[in-house]
Amino acid sequence: MYFILKAVLSGLLIAAVSTIARRSPSVGALVASLPLISVLGMIWLWRDTHDRARMEAHVGATFWYVVPSLPMFLLIPALLRAGMPFYPALLLGCLLTVVLYLAVSWAAPKLGIEL
């Protein structure tokens, strides 16, 4: 039941963002850019474990995984402006993010960053 509650609440946030974005793309973008899912994830993790070390590791790793996702938000609009259809632009943005995630996962331990 707890899992269902978490899934429904998280899904409602995503549905709210898409509904808001239909009325106002900039307000939808603002709401989407808020780390709501990350905050919910932290709340669920804390509620489930009350483990400070685990929370510290989770939040720190989240930061390092947010950084490589940011270029996607520049690439997709650039591709759309250049005339590329949405789904191929989205796919390329996601592929770029995967490549950058792999690069961060490879480089982080070499730089003393624990993920």
pLDDT along the chain (115 residues), means of 10: 86 89 89 84 93 95 93 97 98 97 95 91
Encode 51-71: b = buried (16+ Cβ within 10 Å), e = exposed. eeeeeeebeeeeebbeebbee
As a whole number of angstroms, the distance between CA 41 and CA 47 comes to 10
pTM score, whole prediction: 0.75
| Cα distance between residue 41 and residue 51, in whole Å | 14
Instruction: State residue 36's pLDDT score.
Output: 82
Q: Which of 61, 42, 102 is nearest to 94 (CA)?
A: 102
Give the per-residue pLDDT at 41.
87
Task: Look at residue 102 in the predicted model and tell me its pLDDT.
Answer: 96
CA distance 67 to 54: 21
What pLDDT sits at residue 82? Answer: 98
